[in-house]
């Protein structure tokens, strides 16, 4: 048990320290701005939910708003522990804040030019790496996966990544049909979305021990209620599904801003 605890602590510390974007300040031995990201976006992709082209473009466009100096982006995928589709962080990167104008006067001109060139390259590097990770994760979705373990996955990701983040403002873009199908509970009935009873389903989640803690993050959802072309979901079943997740996020220390069923009509902030 102690060994398992040490492994979990080590994994957590490694995840928190991870930055896929090389530092320009370290490269040129410059004492630059320190501290956490001003804003951080967490894109969480349910691998059982396949997006159409418009929804992929929406996700990319909103991600790019966070590829900027002093901001961070984390991209993670999840479904269930089947066919290698376990929870995985595909990208975690923060662009460094720019050097204050007053500090530039203390740096040699040649060194300053190299620093400025590096910062431009840092942006291009982060954009390319984050885009590649997002495309890989979105295209890896497969509706034929047997289980959709959303509740446990959100508990794990929030515990080891979102809640511990020191970023001043945290935003979550959750891409999922939000239809749980696991050992905890199932929102399916005869292959279609059933009318979810929010109160009884919340009891099941609490008893499972997998309540999440999003550390006050804002949450946006796209893809809720998406099912196959031959299946049908009524406005009542969608309303019941939305009610459950509204209660879930409130109980999980999150500020749910909007749930798209399946698409949002607003950009994330």
- Rounded mean pLDDT of the chain? 89
Averaged pLDDT for residues 39-53: 94
Rounded-to-integer distance, Cα 249 and Cα 269, Å: 18
Q: What tens digit of pLDDT does each residue of 73-87 get?
A: 999 999 865 555 578
- Quote the pLDDT of residue 247: 98
Q: What's the whole-model pTM score?
A: 0.90
Q: Which residues pair with 76 in a beta bridge?
A: 44, 89
- What token pair was written down for 26? 């370290």
What residues have CB less than 8 Å from 38, skipping those under 6 apart?
70, 71, 97, 167, 168, 169
- Quote the pLDDT of residue 234: 86
- Quote the pLDDT of residue 8: 46
Q: Which residues pair with 258 in a beta bridge?
A: 220
- Quote the pLDDT of residue 6: 42
Q: Is the pLDDT of residue 12 over 60?
A: no
- Quote the pLDDT of residue 143: 76
Q: What is the domain class of 2-259 according to CATH? A: alpha beta
Cβ contact 221:266 at 8 Å: no
DSSP-based three-state secondary structure for 214? coil
Averaged pLDDT for residues 129-153: 90
Read off the pLDDT band of 229 (50, 70, 90).
low
Rounded-to-integer distance, Cα 65 and Cα 45, Å: 18
- Quote the pLDDT of residue 145: 74
Q: Is the pLDDT of residue 7 over 70?
A: no
- What token pair was written down for 75? 């991209």
Q: Which residues pair with 125 in a beta bridge?
A: none
């Amino acid at each position: 048990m102690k060994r398992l605890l040490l492994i979990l602590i080590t994994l957590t510390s490694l995840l928190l320290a991870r930055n896929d974007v090389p530092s320009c300040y370290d490269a040129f031995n410059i004492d630059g701005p320190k501290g956490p990201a001003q804003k951080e976006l967490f894109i969480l992709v349910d691998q059982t939910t396949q997006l159409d082209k418009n929804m992929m473009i929406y996700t990319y466009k909103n991600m790019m708003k966070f590829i900027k100096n002093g901001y961070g982006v984390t991209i993670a995928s999840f479904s269930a522990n089947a066919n290698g589709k376990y929870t995985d962080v595909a990208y975690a990167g923060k662009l460094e804040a720019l050097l204050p104008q007053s500090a530039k006067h203390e740096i040699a001109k040649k060194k300053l030019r190299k620093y400025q060139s590096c910062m431009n390259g840092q942006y291009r590097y982060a954009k390319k790496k984050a885009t590649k990770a997002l495309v890989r994760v979105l295209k890896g979705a497969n509706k034929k996966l047997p289980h959709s373990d959303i509740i446990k996955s959100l508990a794990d990701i929030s515990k080891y990544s979102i809640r511990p983040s020191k970023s001043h403002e945290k935003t979550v873009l959750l891409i999922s049909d939000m239809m749980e199908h696991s050992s905890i509970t199932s929102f399916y009935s005869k292959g279609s979305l059933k009318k979810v009873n929010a109160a009884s389903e919340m009891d099941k989640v609490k008893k499972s021990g997998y309540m999440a803690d999003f550390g006050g993050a804002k949450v946006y959802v796209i893809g809720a209620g998406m099912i196959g072309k031959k299946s049908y979901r009524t406005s009542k079943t969608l309303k019941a599904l939305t009610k459950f997740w509204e209660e879930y996020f409130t109980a999980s220390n999150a500020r749910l801003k909007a749930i798209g069923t399946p698409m949002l009509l607003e950009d994330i902030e």
